[in-house]
Structures are given as C-alpha cells and as structure tokens.
Chains A and B, each alone.
Chain A
Amino acid sequence: MTMEQIIVTPSSKETKSAKTPEDSKQLPLPGPDVLIKWLRDMKLIREFEIRAVQAYQNKLAGGFLHVYNGQEAVAVGSIAALQPTDPVITAYRDHGHALARGLDPKVGMAELFGRIGGCAKGKGGSMHFFDVPNHMYGGHGIVGAQTPVGAGLAFATKYEDEVLNGGTNTRVTLCFLGDGALNQGAFHEAANLAKVMDIPVIFIVENNKYAMGTSIERCTSAADNLVDKGVAYHMDSVCIDGMDITNTYPAMKALVDDIRANPRPAFVDMKCYRFKGHSVSDPRKYRTHEEEQENEANDPIEALAKFLISSGVMEEAEIKAMNKELRVEIREAVKWAEASPEPGIEELYKDVYIEKWGPYTGTSLPNFMKDSTRGDA
C-alpha cells in the first residue's frame, strides 16, 4: 500500500469491465484526518458487533443476528465516497452500513434490544435498521428484494432532478447486496430496469464468498468473475478490493463521481470476507479453520492501523486510546439501550397505516358498537 495512487480519468462512454481490483480506476486518498475517522468508524462497527453478539448470547437481543465483522472497509469505504443526501439501502447484514451512514450506536443497540429508543422503535430489529434523517433506507430481510427498491430510490432522485427540480442536483444511490442475492430474479429485473432507464444506482455485491453456508462456487455461475453479471446488463462493472479501505475508497469515489456526472447504473464485485458465521447460530462447518485464519490475518482494520502507523499519521498509543474510547462508547450504548423502555403496547397498533383505522377488529367489536351489550368485548 502507498499513499500515491494512480489517477485514472473516468470515461463514461463505454461499458467497462474491470475484472481484478487492480484494474479499477482510482483517485488519491484524502488527508490524515479522514483516514483517522475511517479507522474509528471501522473500529466502532467492530466493537458494536462484538457487543451485539454478547448481548444476543445474554438474551438481550432476539431474532436473527447477522454481524459484519471483516466487511467494515466495504461500508465505510463506499459510504465515504457519497454526499450526505445520497440514499443507501442494503439487506439484513445492515448494522455496518447504518453506523457508517451516521446512525447513533446507542439507537442501533436499542433497536437490537427491541426498545422504544431504537431507530425503528424496536419494531424492525437487527435486519431492519432504518435511519431516514441519514438517508439510510434499510435494512431488508428478503434476499435480493431490496434491489428493485434501491433502483426506485435512485429513480426518485432522477425524477426529482428531471421533473421536479429542473436538473439542479444529482444524487447517487448505493444498493448493497450479498453474492447470494445474484441468484434472485429481483436483482436481474432491477439491473435491467436500471440500465434501460439510466438510473444512477450502484449495485455493490458484497462478495464474501458464501451465500449463507453455500460457497459461491457451488451456487453461482461465473463465480470467479462476477463482473460479467454486470456487463451482461451493459453496466459499468468493476471489481474492487473490499478488504483494504485504501483501495476501496479511491475506487468507489471515482465510480460515484463518474455516476454523478453521467447518471447511469453500475455494478461492483466487492471482494471481502465474513469473519463470523452467516448468523450467530452458524457453526461454519462448510469452511475450514485454516481458511478462516488465513482471511482473518487480512483484517481490514488492522491493515489500516498498520498503514497509518507506518506512514506516520498515527502512533500506537493513539490507536490504543481510540480502542479504549470506543469500548467506553459502545459499553455506554449497551447501557443506554438496556435503560430504554420496551415499546408500549399501543405501539403494536401504530404505523400500520398513516391514518389510523386499524388494526382490523374482525374478532372484536368495531368502535361503532362499543356500547352494544351483544357480542364479545
């Protein structure tokens, strides 16, 4: 790694197919303050996930829990390339994206605990982190289902620009999906629509090599060359290293800027690795311990820390102080979440419709008969 990156002027004229991370166009890295912030953001996600798993094991959180350990450079490096109002949408492994987009970790933790202080008032859970003020549109549970919706977010930005605002501003939408989602029809319909409508959405395939417990070679055609899937729809398609943010960010920044300048869809095969199981209950029998160790040695957080030390931006002691500060912050988040009350029972019936007429009282008396002496109560 080096601070000197090759600058390639983006060209939107033809469909590109960059098949290795080295092929993708890159811009230079930002200054030291930003690099330090990235390290902090990535460490915050890691610490959040470690505490989330503990809380899950202590039964403070329920449902499914899919943690992001190992993939932090993807969310932080990609989202760093955005402007604040650019929409982001992802699947159920969503804590990292929401935190990278600016979600307060205590609000995220409260959501995991099913508390009223959570980002969805405890009604979404781990898989549904929504944070609209930070332009985070979820958090979606059905594999691939967020891809047409992501195309719709981007369509709306294009519509706002062209129909409502007269071409004043272009936003770029990041739509994250897992490599397993490539085998869902929804993705292919979204990709085709995005291309024929020239929608400014970037489909980022977080290629962590496993669709739950099925390795990509066993379930996905062209597994060693996913960019072909994007090329098939004539999208600009690039392969980006998602394990080293000093590669992830410049490549994503170049792509995002290019899409903003010439609105159209793009496809990214983002190479990464999921350090933990699909969910907390996953015994990971489908892969070897050696493979895990080999990949964990390539930790994106350690890589950036080493880089910052070797390039003189940070000292070892500063990193230790950062670790300590984050441990305190997340511990406080857990405390705050625990102290947040469970949602009141009235919340069960709120947010079903904007104008309340429900829930449907088919098995109890409708309001107009409340004074009736007949029927059940």
Chain B
Amino acid sequence: MSRTIEFRDALREAMSDEMRDDPRVFLIGEEVAEYDGAYKVSRGMLDEFGPKRIIDAPISETGFAGLGIGAAMMGLRPIVEFMSWSFSLVAADQILNNAPKMLYMSGGQLQVPIVFRGNDGAGGQLGSTHSWCVESLYANVPGLKIVIPSDPYDAKGLLTAAIRDPDPVFCLESERMLSMTGEVPESPYEIAIGKAVTRREGADCTLVSFGRPVHFCMEAAEQLAKEGIDCEVIDGRSIKPLDIESIVTSVRKTNCCVVVDQSWSFASIGSEVAAEVHKHCFDDLDNHVHRVHSDDVPAPYAHNLEAEMLPNPRKICEAVRSATYNA
C-alpha cells in the first residue's frame, strides 16, 4: 500500500526496515540519536532500536567513517550519516582509500558492505564550504557506488538497495528535497543500482540529469514544450555504475543531448556523459552534447548569486535551444 510521505521519512523507512530485518545494520553519525537527526531523518529511531544501534558520534568524520569501515570488515552493515557530504572531505582518506580499496588490496578477503549517506549539493545559502556537490570528485574512484535519489520513492528504494549491497555505496541526498512529499509503498522494495529511469518522454532532445536538478529539467521541459521543443528527461538514479545504455538509447531517438550536472564542469559527471554519448552516438547527433553545470566559482552566499550559480531551468532552456538550433 502506498501513501504520501516526505523524502526524509522515506529514507528513515529504508533504514528502519533493514534494521528490523538484519541485526547487523546500525546507524552512526553526528546527532542521529538523541537530537533525532540534524535534519530529522532518523527521528524516532533511537526509541525503537536503542543506543547500541543508533549511535551519536563525536564531530570526528575521519574517526566514525573509519570505525564504520572496520565494523564492515568484520561483517556488520554500518550506515554512516554525514550531516553534509561537505563534511566528508575531512574523512576523504577513509572513504576513498580504505572503503573502496579494501576488497582489492586484501585479494578479495575483506568486503566492506557500508553505506555513507547525507546531504549533497547546495542547501539554502550555506556559503562556499557547505555547498559541495561531491559526485564528480568521488565518482573518479573505483570500488565504490554512488546513488542519488530525486524523489521519496527513489529515496526509499535506492537506500534499501544500498544497505543490502555488498560493496561501499555513497547515497547523495539533498537538504532542499527532504521535505518533498511523494507516494511511497509501505513495504520494503529495492530500486536496482545502476539503472536509469525515463521521467518524461520526448522526441527532440534528451536531458540527462541526477538528483535535485532532475526537477529543474522537468520544469525546463514544460517551458520548452510551449515553444514546440519536446524533451525526454532521463533520471540517472545512480552515478556509479552509470546507465550509459539508457542514455544512448534515448539519444539515438532524439539525436540531441543536454547533460545537467550540479557539480563543477571540469572532469565531471557531465563531461563523462558527454564523452560516452559522443563515442556511442557520433553518427546520431545533430549537435555536440551541451552541458549545464554549477558555474566554476565557489558557492556564493547571496540568494541571487547562488541561484545563478546552480543549474536552473533558465540555463537548461538556453542549452536545449542552442543544442536544437532554436537559439
């Protein structure tokens, strides 16, 4: 049975369902227990599961990320919450060196079934250091997987799949979407990691995006439809593995592609998608792949500057008009 719940509730349901089902699963992070979660994602979980499984960590990302990795090496299934992925940078050695390489450098002896999750991307005017989109930075590393839900249904399904996955999975959520509501089934379900979904069908241009900017693409598609440009919108759902097949199939139909990626443009998810589409759709494309990213500047504080920096419907519309020779 489905009912309408918030994005944060969907995340909590995924964690709570898995914790009821598997006693090896536990949650650790800053303010996840007594504070009820800095963003109320873990609200009530301490009451149900107790302090041995819902664990308040000191403000020591390297420490508790590494602790989770060690626990996973022993067969537990930790969920490590970063209040913001911006704070994961101080734990970079643990999450990039230890978690994704342990299986390989131990010659297959030690798997690390761990989930790192938290808010990714700009919040509301949080300034330069708190607005990181880590996906392009982290996707460069082999051995980890990255999922990025764009609505409550995906939040529950992708996080459930991440917790059950035997490899390290980074789940990138968005502070701006935690209050978004949507239809979510009550019983547990998985959304396959590495499979994209088509959010809108169209004939003229393929928009490829991930996470929160998917909604900007949908807005842009509505606007462009009024102008007679029919967009198809692909939500990647996962960044690693990347579902190139779905993207290529769509571009072969529309002969046009615009990638919308909230990280900076240099060596990014957007440039990777563009490279792959150029390779596989070279003869199909009517124009080169266009890209919309956050501008190549540190995130500003001022409301108007931040809105201009991020991918937004206006920028997406401009890119699609250019790509379809309607500029």
Give the interface of A toward B (CB within 8 A): 87, 89, 118-124, 128, 130-132, 137-140, 142, 145, 147-157, 159-160, 162-164, 185-186, 189-190, 192-193, 196-197, 350-355, 357-360, 362, 366, 368-369, 374-376
Contact = CB atoms under 8 A, between A and B. Distances in A.
Contacts of A147: 66
Interface of B: 23-24, 26, 52-53, 55, 57-58, 60, 62-76, 93-94, 97-98, 102-111, 142-143, 145, 166-167, 194, 240-242, 244-245, 248, 272, 275-276, 279-280, 282-283
Contacts of A185: 62
Nearest to B26: A159
Contact of B109 (A120, A189, A362): A120
Q: Which 10 A-B pairs have the closest CB atoms?
A: A152-B70, A148-B66, A189-B63, A120-B107, A156-B74, A121-B107, A130-B106, A354-B166, A189-B60, A152-B67
Nearest to B76: A156
A318 B11 CA distance: 66
Given A138-B106, A148-B94, A368-B245, A374 B282 contact: yes
A190 B97 contact: no
B167 A186 contact: no
Given A159-B52, A352-B142, A362 B67 contact: no
A366 B272 CA distance: 14
Contacts of A123: 104-105, 107
Nearest to B244: A366
A120 B70 contact: no
Given A186-B62, A355-B167, A151 B103 contact: no
A80 B156 CA distance: 48
B57 to A, nearest CB: 7
Contacts of A149: 66-67, 69-70, 73, 94, 98
B23 A120 contact: no
A132 B74 CA distance: 10
Given A120-B105, A130-B109, A147-B66, 17 more contacts: A120-B109, A124-B107, A137-B110, A152-B70, A153-B70, A154-B70, A164-B23, A185-B62, A186-B94, A192-B60, A192-B63, A354-B111, A360-B142, A360-B241, A369-B248, A374-B283, A375-B279
A113 B134 CA distance: 37
B67 A358 contact: no
B73 A152 contact: yes
Contact of A362 (B69, B167, B272): B272
A150 B70 contact: yes
A132 B109 contact: yes
Contacts of B245: 366, 368
A375 B69 CA distance: 40
25 contacts: A120-B105, A121-B107, A128-B106, A145-B94, A148-B62, A148-B63, A149-B69, A151-B63, A153-B70, A154-B70, A157-B74, A159-B71, A164-B23, A164-B24, A189-B60, A189-B62, A193-B57, A351-B104, A351-B107, A354-B167, A358-B241, A360-B241, A369-B280, A375-B280, A375-B282
A357 B192 CA distance: 13
Nearest to B102: A138
Given A196-B58, A362-B275, A366-B245, A132 B106 contact: yes
Nearest to B99: A149
Contact of A193 (B23, B64, B69, B248): B64
Nearest to B66: A148
Q: Which of B60, B105, B275, B280 counts the most A-chain CB atoms under 10 A from its CB?
A: B105
A138 to B, nearest CB: 7
A22 B283 CA distance: 79
B106 A193 contact: no
Contacts of B62: 148, 185-186, 189
Contacts of A148: 62-67, 69-70, 94
B66 A152 contact: yes
B70 A156 contact: yes
A185 B62 CA distance: 8
B241 to A, nearest CB: 5
B141 to A, nearest CB: 11
B153 to A, nearest CB: 24
A351 B108 contact: yes
Contact of A163 (B53, B282, B283): B53
Given A159-B76, A353-B167, A362-B272, A152 B71 contact: yes
A266 to B, nearest CB: 17
A262 to B, nearest CB: 18
A351 B98 contact: no
Nearest to A145: B93
Contact of B143 (A89, A124, A353): A353
Contacts of B110: 130, 132, 137
Contacts of A132: 106, 109-110
B135 to A, nearest CB: 15
